[in-house]
Structure 1
Amino acid sequence: LISLFLVFGGIHCAPWNSTFPTHTEQVLWHVSAVTLTAFPLVWFSLYGVMKFIEGYTSRTTIKLIYNTIGIIVVIFLPLVITLIVIAFTELRVLPTSAYQTVDWARFIPHI
């Protein structure tokens, strides 16, 4: 599961040097991508610490760790939504080559 989250975040870090229509969109993309990549490491680390100290500490500390994990999960969803919204808003500024007709016969010779 952690690998899936790391791959998901890593894929969104791939267009790091891409051009964005506005600086704000670029910053939002960078922050969301890095946070999504770091999210599973922090979450699983906190979960591991919680399981390790569960028998050795008070209920208050365990509740604090569970609440922290919950907050991280609540943050994850808006980050994903931010990336989806930015990806679709990028479609408003396509290069002219995006509107050219593709000659599929050049790419697939058997047609």
Structure 2
Amino acid sequence: MAKKIVQTAGRDALGDFAPDFARYNDDILFGEVWSRNDILSLHDRSLITISALVASGIIDSSLKYHIQTAKANGVTKAEMVEAITQLGFYAGWPKAWGAFRMAKEVYEAK
């Protein structure tokens, strides 16, 4: 049984300024795509998303959000470290350093 993902970040941040984009983010990306977790687990979707962000050089608050979400979705510290290490070789060493700084902050938070 799929777990329905409810997201409001798009509407919270951009609802008045870019309402269609906010709706696509909240209702389609999260409400439909991420909610297909009976096909691909939230754990795996988190690792894929983090990989795409790091490979694209997106080392900002969106990466931190997805690392926090990955942790909540059961991605262990060991899995995160292994994934980012792998990414270092394929996506770039400096990108991995940036991702490790955020991952360390998330996984060491109490």
- Give TM-score, length-normalised by structure 2: 0.22
Max radius of gyration: which structure? 1
Output the TM-score relative to the length of structure 1. 0.22
Tell me which protein shows more helix as a share of its residues.
1
